[in-house]
């Protein structure tokens, strides 16, 4: 009698274990049917981000920004802004994107970018923002500058969303390039990681050819 009870118990627990095993196998994730398809065109597509990191003519952009500052007499601390442009911002841009230097960004350069972008966004009209956007899209790839200029970036997006129909097309396109660059990404500073858009004559920036306009 006791032996039969033991046999029934063993049989019962064996069935339970077998059922649990089957249930656990059913719960295992299976490969999606599409994973078995041979799609070489799709599998060859890179997952690296596409960056708008072509380098403009920095001296030309600098001259444009200084002239815009001089054109707004009411701009507070205009001399400080020009000092930031000449002593911190453009030396850093040339060091990072022309000389390809890996020297860490100084706190002074970060502070200069924060002050200058905030002042330009708050005081200059949309038509004067294009040169700033054209260098900001490069600076925003640096994590410390991306964090420091987040507030003025949100402000400029808000302002342009309210006046998108009246904003110059060149300014809007360059602003789109700025916001589609991944903020804080260190990519694009080394040629081995670049997947920049080509500088085409149909839609690219012509700052590199001596003028801050889009060829559209």
Q: What is the dihedral of CA 37, 194, 56, 179, to 10 degrees?
A: 60
In the chain, the percentage of residues whose pLDDT exceeds 70 is 70
Q: Annotate the chain with DSSP letters as a single string.
A: -HHHHHHHHHHHHHHHHHHHHHHHHHHS----GGGGS--HHHHTS--SPP-------HHHHHHHHHHHHHT-TT-TTHHHHHHHIIIIIHHHHHHHHTS---PPPPHHHHHHHHHHHHHHHHHS-GGG-HHHHHHHHHHTTSHHHHHHTHHHHHHHHHHHHHSTTTS-HHHHHHHHHHHHS-TT--TTSSGGG--PPP--TTTSB-GGGT---B--
- Check residue 170 and give its pLDDT: 86
When pLDDT is cut at 50, 70 and 90, the band that residue 211 belongs to is very low
CA-CA distance, 7 to 12, in Å (whole number)? 9
What pLDDT does 193 receive?
40
Whether the CB-CB separation of 106 and 144 falls below 8 Å is answered with no
Look at residue 206 and tell me whether its pLDDT is greater than 80.
Answer: no
Q: Tell which wins on pLDDT, 37 or 194.
A: 37
Q: Does the pLDDT of residue 109 top 90, yes or no? A: yes
Beta bridge partners of 205: 214
Residue 199 vs residue 22, higher pLDDT: 22
Provide the pLDDT confidence category of residue 17 given band limits of 50, 70 and 90. low
Residue for token pair 């904003």: 167
The arithmetic mean of pLDDT across residues 120-133, rounded, is 88
| Residue 128 or residue 4, greater confidence | 128
Question: Domain spans of the chain?
Answer: 58-209
Q: What is the pLDDT of residue 40?
A: 82
Mean pLDDT of the chain: 77
Cα separation of 117 and 151, whole Å?
9
Please give the average per-residue pLDDT across 168-188, as a whole number.
81
pLDDT band of residue 23 (cuts 50, 70, 90) is low
Lowest mean pLDDT among 1-15, 97-111, 129-143, 196-210: 196-210
For the stretch 24-46, pLDDT in tens is 545 556 667 777 778 888 778 88
Name which residue leads in pLDDT, 20 or 58: 58
| Length of the chain measured in residues | 216
User: From CA 208, how far away is CA 57, in angstroms rounded?
Assistant: 4
What's the pLDDT at 45? 82
pLDDT of residue 159: 84
Q: Is pLDDT at 191 greater than 50 in this prediction?
A: no
End-to-end CA distance of the chain: 95
Burial 22-50 (b: 16+ CB within 10 A, else e): eeeeeeeeeeeeeeeeeeeeeeeeeeeee
pLDDT score recorded for residue 162: 76
């Amino acid at each position: 009698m006791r032996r039969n009870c033991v046999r029934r118990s063993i049989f019962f627990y064996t069935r339970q274990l077998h059922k649990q095993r089957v249930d656990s196998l059913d719960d295992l994730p299976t490969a999606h049917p599409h994973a078995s398809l041979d799609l070489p065109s799709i599998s060859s597509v890179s997952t690296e981000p596409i960056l708008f990191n072509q380098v403009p003519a920095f001296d030309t952009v600098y001259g444009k920004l200084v002239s815009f500052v001089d054109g707004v007499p009411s701009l507070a601390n205009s001399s400080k802004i020009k000092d930031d442009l000449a002593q911190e911002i453009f030396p850093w841009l040339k060091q990072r994107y022309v000389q390809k230097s890996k020297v860490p960004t100084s706190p002074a350069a970060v502070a200069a970018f924060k002050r200058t972008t905030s002042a330009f966004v708050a005081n200059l009209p949309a038509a004067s923002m294009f040169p700033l956007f054209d260098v900001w899209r490069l600076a925003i790839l640096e994590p410390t500058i991306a964090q420091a200029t987040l507030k003025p970036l949100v402000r400029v997006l808000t302002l342009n969303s309210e006046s998108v129909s009246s904003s110059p097309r060149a300014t809007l396109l360059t602003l789109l390039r700025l916001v589609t660059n991944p903020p804080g990404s260190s990519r694009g500073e080394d040629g081995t990681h670049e997947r920049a858009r080509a500088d085409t004559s149909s839609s690219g920036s012509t700052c590199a050819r001596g003028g801050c306009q889009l060829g559209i």
